[in-house]
Amino acid sequence: MGIDILKRNNVRVTGQGEKTIMFGHGFGCDQQVWNSTIKDFEVDYRVVTFDYIGSGNSDKAAYSKERYSTLDGYKQDLLDVCDGLEIKEMIFVGHSVSAMIGMLASIERPELMDKMIMIGPSPYYMNEPGYTGGFERSDIDELLDMMETNYMEWAKYLAPVVMQNEDRPQLAEDFEQLLCSNDPLIARQFAEVTFTSDLRDKLDQVTVPTLILQPKFDAIAPLEVGQYVHDHIKDSQMIIMEAVGHNPHLSDSGETVKYIKAYLEK
């Protein structure tokens, strides 16, 4: 089973340390987004990256609309990879929706994680009275409709919104290419699950020591959301980064690495 899972999720293991650090990618991405980050950990850690089913070079034949109709399906991907590698304790770094997937895994099996690092997390993307998620329901519906009618135009629109850093347009261009490499139908369902899931009631169930890395300006998961996560995960720590945009591991990998390493050395 282990070998099948590793192939299914395109699992890659590098590094030479005894302790395992695993990196989980966000929506619309795959494990390539960690290439500039993981090299800084390979001397001291066994580094694990993977693709959720439907993303990157995972086995897309294993995709099921039923299994992946909630984030629990992606949580199970993560747990399957851990079991396939016989991981007992690890550090988990999750970006965006992967922070929430990692959170669900940590609640189900807290013994798997020593520490958890969330980059740009959001438990709920929509505004409600007393809660700033960043989007109105109509905004989400428009994005989902655009994905259905013209996926390439959707990617072209979304990439600069996500990346920011207008003075470095190559970042948005590269991210647009990454979005365009996805299967549009699978990406559409993953987007709906990501942007409509409400996990706010799960935050206070986290028992794993947690660091939240929050870019100082993020159009997808604004500062108010990062603060909400911090306020509701007991004993969590939050750092507001100098980086802007939703993907600091792509735009500012040096700063991202610095804060992760500092947290792990405590």
Q: pLDDT confidence of 2, banded at 50, 70, 90?
A: low
Q: pLDDT confidence of 7, banded at 50, 70, 90?
A: very high
Q: What is the mean pLDDT of residues 207-219?
A: 98
Active site residue 95: no
Active site residue 246: yes
Active-site residue identified among 55, 58, 96, 251: 96
Q: What is the mean pLDDT of residues 25-34?
A: 97
What domains are defined for the chain? 2-123+199-264 (3.40.50.1820)
What are the residue ranges of helices labelled H in 164-238?
Answer: 169-180, 184-196, 223-232
Q: What percent of the chain has pLDDT over 70?
A: 99
Q: What percent of the chain has pLDDT over 90?
A: 98
Query: Global pTM?
Result: 0.96
Per-residue model confidence as pLDDT tens digits over 191-201:
999 999 999 99
Do residues 107 and 72 touch, judged by C-beta distance below 8 A? no
Active site residue 218: yes
Closest of 85, 25, 98, 82 to residue 58, by C-alpha: 25
Instruction: Give the pLDDT score at 3.
Output: 65
